[in-house]
């Protein structure tokens, strides 16, 4: 039995891992349902929001909910193995219990993006937050203009969501381009750095938003490429990562000046980022 | 409002001990050569001279507190399945915090705005706040490191207190500040102050007037922020800092925390502990990236938070109450007053230079 005092910010809902998908050598995806059927049924979130996953005995870490609110069978989190908590998470199996504190933070401005062309540029595990918005938009396809996805990884073996890529590549209502830094002989897609491929693709900045997430260095050069293509800072959206604990703007860990990434983010436009003190 | 009460010096300890029979009484007591807020008992050596070495913040935000308890067990009927039980452990003890100085009590108001902020109500802090009567003791002998008067406070202020004790000849005048302070006092076997209120007021007035002046340290939000990218300034300010964190651990307004799990066999706890933005690990991310990887950036955040970010978010209220413990106990004698003054001078000089 678990006490469920909704007024306790730090008390996670208990959840059960339903499925574990091995995405790459160091990324696993966890599909989780909340144990309390009412909590699961009433769970609401918006694309881009994050959650704290607990492995009791190890601690909590923040991950984006990369499923879409349009399909609420489970909450999906993709986790790259980089430290103690993620190491333990990777050892969990279907049926194992985790804690979930979610949703936290803000979301992509998906309402404001209606009627616009959307360019997604994802690198590595940075594809996870984009996935939630992409699926949301595909499920509300008529609300959005042209959808373009550029997804890159180090090698073909480092591409997550490989089970969805054929669908994304084949769909006629979106354009998908894949790229890797290092190809294999049978790799049929691009080989090259994301910003360079993006410049070749040259999506129009007219009436468009670009959403990018990936390693900081990739984001930096992707934003430069987007600028070259005519995208303005307010048309470029990204998500920030910070070390977080409380997830609600109290513990004081993830602030950049007066903004708390856990509460005021993780989604920011490049315009908003430029207005923040330079401490990313 | 209930009239003021009075307690004689020699009645104070017996009264506090009688209170301690039904609730925890936290008071400044001598412990290992230091004066710290600790639960009072008959053996305690109460020390009401000057400022305690550590602030009273642990009364409401303990150095370490259990937030959750959890227990793993084999699944019933399905031994391969692990069951997990998690439960919250909310504070349940009434407390009386005695002898907090006005700066300490004001520190709680800094916490209140963050921990009791509408939708994000920290139930652990708020429960403890609700269950604790804060009785402040007006200062009669401020140290030369005290600067409450430069950050919007004063040695006889009542912000954050339920009750105010003021030392007078032979004892203390006790005044209620809040309704719950009044209700608490109404139940206590204390005598009426019988006209000694004026004496208490005079004591407070004299002490306030005796404090050295100096420019107010508030209102520097913009100046501190303008220096954000001034590495030369922050590097210079932080050069001798040891990153020991004494300043933030002793500070009545520093409220950052960490949450970690401890497990022993099948049982474990999730604990919250004080944390410290002067520590390298505070912002170190899993990827190895650290947005505040130098002392200068960490110092900038600490000063920035107290004098710029917090006031910006909370109607100009500073996250500094001028207790001066960070100055007294800094192993390399850093002085927050000087840093803020330097920041302001530097920002103004830059501004003038830019206008030339």
- Whether the predicted pLDDT of A82 surpasses 80: yes
| Short-list A130, A193, A123, A194, CA closest to A159 | A123
Contact B37, B52 (CB under 8 A): yes
CATH classification of the domain holding A210: 3.40.50.80
Q: What is the pLDDT of residues A237-273, one digit of tens each?
A: 999 988 899 999 999 999 999 999 999 999 999 999 9
Tokens found for residue B280: 């390298």
pLDDT of residue B84: 92
Q: Do A50 and A137 belong together in one domain?
A: no
Q: Is A86 on the interface with B (CB under 8 A)?
A: yes
Q: What is the DSSP letter of A275?
A: H
Beta-bridge mates of residue B176: B163
Q: Is A81 touching B (CB cutoff 8 A)? A: no
Q: Are B154 and B102 in contact (CB under 8 A)?
A: yes
Note whether B123 contacts A243, CB cutoff 8 Å.
Answer: no
**pLDDT at position B194:** 87
pLDDT at A6 exceeding the cut of 80:
no
Region A222-233 average pLDDT: 98
Distance from CA of A39 to the nearest CA of B (A): 16
| B112-146: pLDDT as tens digits | 999 998 778 999 999 999 999 999 999 999 999 99
C-alpha distance from residue B121 to each of B91, B117, B215, B253 (Å): 15, 6, 35, 18
B355 φψ region: left (φ > 0), alpha (ψ -120 to 50), beta (else):
alpha
Closest to B255 in 3D by CA, of B270, B275, B283: B275
pLDDT at B298 over 70: yes
Residues of B (96-125) whose Cβ lies below 8 Å from A: 114-115, 117, 120-124
User: Please, which residues bridge with residue B25 across strands?
Assistant: B96
- Looking at the fold, whether A22 and A50 belong to one and the same domain comes out as yes
pLDDT of A4 over the 60 cut: no
pLDDT value for B1: 61
Kindly identify which residue of chain B lies nearest to residue A84, measuring between CA atoms.
B286
The percentage of residues in chain A with a pLDDT greater than 90, rounded to a whole number, is 93
Per-residue pLDDT of B185-196, as tens digits, reads 999 999 999 889
Residues A134 and A233 in one domain: yes
- Taking the alpha carbons of B303, B297, A85, B266 in that order, is the dihedral positive or negative? negative
A59-73, B38-52, B114-128: the lowest-pLDDT one: B114-128
Structure confidence at residue B176 as a pLDDT band (50, 70, 90): very high
Lowest mean pLDDT among A234-243, B69-78, B123-132, B251-260: B69-78
Q: Place B81 in a pLDDT band, splitting at 50, 70 and 90.
A: low
Nearest to B289 among A56, A216, A278 (CB): A216
Q: Please list every residue in chain A whose beta carbon sits closer than 8 Å to the beta carbon of residue B260.
A: 59
Q: Which of A46-55, B219-228, B267-276 has the lowest mean pLDDT?
A: B219-228
Q: With an 8 Å Cβ cutoff, are B305 and A246 in contact? A: no
Rounded mean pLDDT of chain A?
Answer: 94
Least confident of B31-35, B58-62, B215-219: B215-219
Strand locations in chain A (E): 13-22, 27-34, 50-55, 59-64, 75-80, 97-104, 117-123, 147-153, 175-180, 190-191, 208-213, 236-239, 255-256, 259-260, 267-269
Domain range summary for chain B, segments of one domain joined by +: 5-68+86-210, 220-355
- What pLDDT is recorded for position A3? 39
**Dihedral sign from CA coordinates of A132, A133, A136, A141:** negative
Is the distance from CB of A128 to CB of A160 less than 8 angstroms?
yes
Query: A221 in a domain, yes or no?
Result: yes
Whether chain A has a CB inside 8 Å of the CB on B15: the answer is: no
pLDDT for B2 equals 65
Could B270 and A216 be called an inter-chain contact, meaning their C-beta atoms sit closer than 8 Å? no
- What pLDDT is stored for residue B219 in this prediction? 82
* B153 band by pLDDT with thresholds 50, 70 and 90: very high
pLDDT mean over A129-152 = 97
**Which ipTM was obtained for this model?**
0.92
In this structure, the answer to whether residues A95 and A137 fall within a common structural domain is no
Smallest CA–CA distance, residue B90 to chain A, in Å, is 10
Quick check: B87 and A2 CB within 8 A?
A: yes
Residue set of the binding site of A for [2Fe-2S] cluster: 246, 251, 254, 262
**Percent of chain A beyond pLDDT 70?**
98
| Residue finishing a domain among A43, A77, A104 | A104
Looking at the domain assignment, is residue A244 inside a domain?
Answer: no
Residue pair A26/A80 in contact by the 8 Å Cβ criterion? yes
Helix (H, G, I), strand (E, B) or coil at B244: coil
Among the ranges given (A7-11, A129-133, B286-290), the one the predictor scored with the smallest mean pLDDT: B286-290
Asked if residue A191 is part of any domain, the answer here is yes
Tell me whether residue A163 is in a domain: yes
What is the average pLDDT across A56-66? 96
**Are A40 and A57 contacting, i.e. CB atoms less than 8 angstroms apart?**
no
Q: Within this chain, do residues A100 and A138 fall inside the same structural domain, yes or no? A: no
Residue A124 shares a structural domain with residue A225:
yes
Give the range among A56-60, A241-245, B80-84 with minimum mean pLDDT.
B80-84
| Per-residue model confidence (pLDDT) at position B284 | 92
Which of residues 204 through 263 in chain A touch B, CB cutoff 8 A?
A: 216, 241-243, 245-246, 248-258, 263
Inform me whether the C-beta atom of residue B301 falls under 8 Å from chain A C-beta atoms. yes
Q: What is the pLDDT of chain B when averaged over all its residues?
A: 94
A42 touching B (Cβ < 8 Å): no
CB contact under 8 A, A61 and B258: no
Among A181, A173, A75, which residue's Cα sits nearest to residue A118? A173
Is A111 domain-assigned? no
Is it the case that residue A106 has pLDDT exceeding 90? yes
pLDDT band for B83, please (50, 70, 90 cuts): confident
pTM: predicted TM-score of the whole model, two decimal places: 0.94
Is a pLDDT exceeding 80 seen at residue B356?
no
Residues 121-160 of B with CB under 8 A from A: 121-124
Domain count of the fold of chain A? 2
Q: Is the pLDDT of residue A1 over 80?
A: no
CATH number of the domain within which A76 lies = 2.40.30.10
**Best residue of A7, A250, A263 to probe chain B, by most B CBs closer than 10 Å:** A250
| Residue-level pLDDT at A187 | 95
A5-18 mean pLDDT: 88
The whole domain housing A235 covers 117-239
Residues A78 and A147 reside in one and the same domain: no
**Interface A:B, Cβ pairs < 8 A:** 131
Q: Do residues A74 and A123 both lie within one domain?
A: no
Burial class (CB within 10 angstroms; exposed 0-12, middle 13-18, buried 19+) of A131: buried
Q: Say whether B129 sits in a helix, a strand or coil.
A: helix
Whole-number Å distance between alpha carbons of A160 and A26? 10
Asked if residue A261 is part of any domain, the answer here is no
**Which range among A60-74, A148-162, B68-82 shows the weakest confidence by mean pLDDT?**
B68-82
A83 touches chain B (CB under 8 A): yes
Question: In this predicted structure, what is the pLDDT of residue B181?
Answer: 96
């Amino acid at each position: 039995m678990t006490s469920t005092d909704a007024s306790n910010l730090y008390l996670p809902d208990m959840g059960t891992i339903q499925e574990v998908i091995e995405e790459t050598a160091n990324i696993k995806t966890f599909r989780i349902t909340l144990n309390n059927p009412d909590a699961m049924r009433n769970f609401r979130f918006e694309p881009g929001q994050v959650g704290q996953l607990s492995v009791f005995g190890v601690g909590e870490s923040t991950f984006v909910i990369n499923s879409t609110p349009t399909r609420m069978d489970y909450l999906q989190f993709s986790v790259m193995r980089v430290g103690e908590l993620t190491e333990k998470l990777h050892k969990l199996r279907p049926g194992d219990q985790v804690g979930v504190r979610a949703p936290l933070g803000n979301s992509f401005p998906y309402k404001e993006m209606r009627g616009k062309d959307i360019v997604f540029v994802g690198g590595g595990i940075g594809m996870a937050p984009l996935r939630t918005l992409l699926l949301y938009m595909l499920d509300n396809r008529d609300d959005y203009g042209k959808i373009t996805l550029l997804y890159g990884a180090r090698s073909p073996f480092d591409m997550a969501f490989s089970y969805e890529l054929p669908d994304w590549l084949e769909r006629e209502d979106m354009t998908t381009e894949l790229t890797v830094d290092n190809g294999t002989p049978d790799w049929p897609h691009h080989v090259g750095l994301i910003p360079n491929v993006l410049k070749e693709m040259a999506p129009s900045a007219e009436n468009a938003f670009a959403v990018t997430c990936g390693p900081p260095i990739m984001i930096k050069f992707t934003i430069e490429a987007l600028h070259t293509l005519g995208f303005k800072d307010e048309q470029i959206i990204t998500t920030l990562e910070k070390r977080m604990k409380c997830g609600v703007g109290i513990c004081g860990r993830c602030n950049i000046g007066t903004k708390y990434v856990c509460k005021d983010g993780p989604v920011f436009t490049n315009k908003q980022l430029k207005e923040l003190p330079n401490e990313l | 409002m209930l009239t003021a009460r009075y307690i004689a010096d020699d009645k104070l300890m017996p009264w506090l001990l009688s209170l301690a029979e039904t609730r925890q009484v936290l008071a400044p007591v001598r412990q290992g050569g230091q004066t710290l807020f600790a639960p009072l008992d008959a053996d305690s050596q109460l020390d009401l001279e000057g400022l305690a070495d550590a602030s009273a913040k642990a009364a409401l935000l303990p150095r370490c507190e259990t937030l959750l308890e959890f227990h793993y067990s084999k699944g019933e009927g399905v031994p391969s399945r692990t069951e997990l039980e998690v439960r919250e452990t909310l504070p349940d003890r009434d407390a009386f915090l005695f002898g907090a100085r006005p700066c300490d009590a004001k520190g709680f108001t800094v916490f209140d705005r963050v921990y009791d902020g509408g939708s994000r109500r920290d139930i652990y802090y708020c429960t403890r706040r609700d269950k604790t009567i804060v009785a402040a003791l007006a200062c009669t002998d401020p140290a030369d490191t005290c600067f409450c008067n430069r950050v919007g406070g004063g040695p006889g202020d009542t912000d954050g207190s339920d009750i105010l004790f003021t030392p007078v000849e032979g004892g203390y005048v006790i005044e209620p500040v809040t309704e719950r302070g009044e209700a608490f006092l109404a139940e206590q076997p204390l005598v009426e102050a019988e006209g000694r209120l004026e004496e208490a007021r005079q004591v407070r007035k004299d002490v306030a007037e005796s404090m050295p002046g100096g420019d107010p340290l508030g209102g520097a939000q913009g100046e501190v922020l303008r220096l954000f990218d001034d590495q030369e300034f922050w590097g210079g300010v932080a050069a001798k800092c040891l990153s020991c964190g004494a300043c933030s651990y002793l500070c009545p307004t520093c409220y950052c925390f960490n949450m970690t799990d401890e497990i022993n066999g099948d049982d474990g706890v999730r604990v919250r502990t004080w944390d410290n933005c002067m520590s390298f690990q505070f912002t170190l991310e899993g990827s190895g990236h650290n947005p505040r990887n130098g002392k200068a950036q960490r110092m900038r955040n600490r000063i920035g938070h107290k004098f710029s970010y917090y006031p910006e978010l909370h109607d100009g209220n500073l996250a500094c109450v001028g207790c001066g413990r960070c100055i007294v106990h800094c192993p390399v004698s850093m002085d927050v007053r000087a840093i803020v003054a330097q920041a302001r001078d530097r920002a103004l000089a830059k501004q003038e230079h830019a206008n030339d």
